[in-house]
A and B are shown apart, each in its own frame.
Chain A
Amino acid sequence: MKAVGTLWIAIALAGSGGCAGLGAKPWEHDLLAEHAMQVSAYPIEAGMDDHVYFSKEASSGGRSFAGGGCGCN
C-alpha cells in the first residue's frame, strides 16, 4: 500500500496547487482540445482492447475499472 500513499500525496499536491507551475493558459488549450489529445478519444477501441487482454491475461484495471462483466477470466 506504499504506492497508494505516494499516489495520494501526489494528488494532494496537485489539488493544493503543487502543479501551479504546470499547465497552460486558456488561450493555449488549442492543441489539447484536438480529438487525438483526448484521454478517451476512441472509447470503443479502448474497451475492446481492455476486454481482449482481460480474457487472455491475468491483469485488469488501470485505465478503467477492473471488472469484466463476463465470465471469461
Chain B
Amino acid sequence: MQLKPKMAANPPGVRRALAAAAAGLLAGGHAKAQEAPVDAPTTTIDSAVLVYHEVNRVQAIEPEVNLSHKLNEDSTFNFGITADSLTGATPLGAVPSTLSQSYVRPYKVIPLGTPVTVTSASGGSTVVLVPPPTGAKTQTLAASTVVPPNTYPFDHAFHDERIAGHLGWEQALTQNFKVDGGIAYSKEHDYRSESAHIGLSQDFNGHNTTLSAAVNYESDLSFPIGGTPTPLTPMNGNWKGPDASLHEVDALVGVTQVMSRRWLATLSYSYSDAHGYQTDPYKIISVVDSVSGQPNEQLYESRPDQRRKQSIFFDNKIHLTTDVISASLRGYKDDWGIKSLTADLRYRWQIGMNYYIEPHLRYYTQGAADFFHYYLVSGEAIPQYASADTRLAKFHAQTYGVKFGIPFDETSELNLRVEYYDQHGNGSPAGAIGQLQQQNLFPDLKAYTLLLGYTFAF
C-alpha cells in the first residue's frame, strides 16, 4: 500500500542509493591526501537491519545490503538490495465522531455470479459484496470497517512488502574530477519506481574545496488497490480508475570545504520538480455538518499535480581531540506552502580505542500545506485541493537516540542504534465545530527504531 505508513518500512533502495551518491559527491577529495596502502581492501559489504515500531500503528522490518567494489585506482562499482515488510494501522484522514462510523473500500474483483461468503478480513473489517452495475461482467468485493465512537479512524488492514535495488558506478577522470551514475528500481504491490542519476565533482585548492552537481530523473507508477479514485468524490467500495504516473526531476549542487584540520563543512542546495499523481489514493477527508460537526460524508483527498521543492542543507563535522561532532541545519520550502526547519546534532564520544557512543538529537518543525484542512464543512464550496493528511499539517517532532559502535579497524564496524521519535500537532484547532471540539484531530505519533549495522571489507 502506498499509504503513508510506508514510512520506515519502505526505505527504498532508491533513496538510499541517491543519498549515497549525492553524499559521495559532496564528500569531495579531502581525504585523498591519504594514499591508500597497496594492500588496501577492494570490496566493502555494508549491511543493516531496521526494526521500526510505531505505538499502536505501523510495524516494519527492513534488511539492506550494499556492496562496493573498487575495480582499480579510479573506478568503483556498487550494488545494493533491500526488502521490507510493513503491517499495522494508518490514519484514514477522517475525523473522529461521538457516533460509530463505518468505512468501505474496494477489496477484490471476482467474476459475476461467483458465490460470495461474508467473512472477516484482516484488521477487523468485513468483506461485503458491492451490487454490480447493469451489464457488468465482474463484481466487486469491498472491505467494511466499523470505527467505534470517539476513536480516531485508522485503516487497520494496512500492509505492504517492498523490494528495491540499485546499481552504480563511480569514475575518477582526473586527479580532481570525478563522475558517477546509477540506476535504481523499487516495487511494491501498488507502486513502482524507476530512476537514473548522474553526478560530477571537481576538487580545488589542493583537495580542500569540492564543487559538485548531480541530477536525478524518476518515473513512478501508482496502481492502488481498488484503482485510482477520482479526487473529492465519496469514498465507496466500487473499483476506481486506471493507474497513475508521476515524473520527477531532482537537481543538487553543493560545495564541501575543508575549513581547518579539524572542520569539514558542506553547503548544498537541492531543487525538485514533480509532475503527475501526488494524491494519496487511500486518504479521505470528512465533510462535517456545520452545526453538529458530525461527518456527513467522506471524500477522497485531492492534491495538486505539480510540486516544486527547494532545500538548503548545511552540514558540519568537527573533530575534537578524539570525539567528533556532526551538526546540520536544513531549510525547506515548496509551492504547496510548506516550510520547514530541521536541526540535527550528534556527538561521537570515543571511549578508548575500541568503542564509541553517539547520542543524537533532532528537532523538526513544519508549517501546513495551503490545502490542508482538518475537515470540510457542508454547505461551503469544496476547494480544488483538500487533504486531511496530518503529515501536511503544522507540527513539530523530536528524535532522541543513541548509537553504540565497535570499530574493528578503518573499514569494519559493528553498531547498534536505538531511537525514539515523537511528533506533536494541534489536535484542538481553533473554531472546531460542535462535537469536534471534544475530539483529538491530530493523532500524535510515537515511534521506536532499532538499527543494527555491520560493515566489513576484504
Mark A residues whose CB is within 8 Å of B: 3-4, 7, 10-11, 14-15, 17, 19-20, 22-40, 42-48, 50-73
Are B23's CB and A39's CB within 8 A? yes
Within 8 A of A (CB), among B404-456: 407, 410-411, 413, 417, 421, 423, 445, 447, 449, 451, 453
What is the CA–CA distance of A60 and B46 in the complex, to the nearest angstrom? 24
What distance in Å separates the Cβ of A19 from its nearest Cβ neighbour in chain B? 5
Are A29's CB and B30's CB within 8 A? yes
Given that A15-B209, A22-B260, A37-B264 are known contacts, is A58 also in contact with B2, CB under 8 Å in the complex?
Answer: no
Are A64's CB and B340's CB within 8 A? no
What distance in Å separates the Cβ of B198 from its nearest Cβ neighbour in chain A? 12
Q: What would be 30 A-B contacts, judged by CB atoms less than 8 Å apart?
A: A7-B253, A22-B258, A23-B209, A29-B31, A29-B207, A32-B31, A32-B319, A36-B319, A37-B324, A39-B28, A40-B26, A44-B66, A47-B17, A47-B20, A48-B11, A50-B11, A51-B8, A55-B10, A59-B332, A60-B309, A61-B310, A62-B342, A63-B19, A63-B268, A64-B15, A64-B19, A67-B14, A68-B14, A71-B2, A71-B222
Residue in B271, B317, B417, B421 with the greatest tally of chain A CB atoms within 10 Å:
B317
Chain B positions 158 through 198: 1 when the CB is less than 8 Å from some CB of chain A, otherwise 0: 00001010000000000000000000101010110101010
Contact of A66 among B260, B272, B366 (CB under 8 A): B272
What's the dominant secondary structure at chain A's contact region?
loop
What distance in Å separates the Cβ of B67 from its nearest Cβ neighbour in chain A? 12
Are A24's CB and B250's CB within 8 A? no
Are A23's CB and B4's CB within 8 A? no
Contact of A71 among B164, B191, B205 (CB under 8 A): B191
What distance in Å separates the Cβ of A33 from its nearest Cβ neighbour in chain B? 4
What's the dominant secondary structure at chain B's contact region?
strand
Contacts of B240 in A (CB 8 A): none
Contact of B348 among A30, A36, A51, A73 (CB under 8 A): A36
What is the CA–CA distance of A39 and B209 in the complex, to the nearest angstrom? 13
Contacts of A67 in B (CB 8 A): 14-15, 18, 195, 216, 218, 248, 250, 272, 274
Are B15's CB and A68's CB within 8 A? yes
Contacts of A42 in B (CB 8 A): 453
Are A59's CB and B317's CB within 8 A? no
What distance in Å separates the Cβ of B176 from its nearest Cβ neighbour in chain A? 12
Contact of A48 among B34, B50, B190 (CB under 8 A): B50
Given that A45-B451, A65-B250 are known contacts, is A27 also in contact with B33, CB under 8 Å in the complex?
Answer: yes
Contact of A26 among B8, B184, B206 (CB under 8 A): B206
Contacts of A47 in B (CB 8 A): 11, 15-17, 19-20
* Least CB separation from A13: chain B residue: B255
Given that A44-B48, A44-B453 are known contacts, is A14 also in contact with B23, CB under 8 Å in the complex?
Answer: no
Given that A11-B253, A52-B11 are known contacts, is A33 also in contact with B33, CB under 8 Å in the complex?
Answer: yes
What is the CA–CA distance of A24 and B209 in the complex, to the nearest angstrom? 10
B3 at interface, CB cutoff 8 A: yes
What distance in Å separates the Cβ of A26 from its nearest Cβ neighbour in chain B? 4
B391 at interface, CB cutoff 8 A: yes
Contact of A38 among B12, B27, B52, B397 (CB under 8 A): B27
Contact of A65 among B18, B164, B255 (CB under 8 A): B18
B330 at interface, CB cutoff 8 A: yes
What distance in Å separates the Cβ of A5 from its nearest Cβ neighbour in chain B? 10
* Least CB separation from A72: chain B residue: B6
Within 8 A of A (CB), among B285-331: 309-313, 315, 317, 319, 324, 328, 330-331
Contact of A43 among B6, B20, B445 (CB under 8 A): B20
Contacts of A27 in B (CB 8 A): 33
Contact of A61 among B64, B332, B413 (CB under 8 A): B332
Contacts of B188 in A (CB 8 A): 70-71
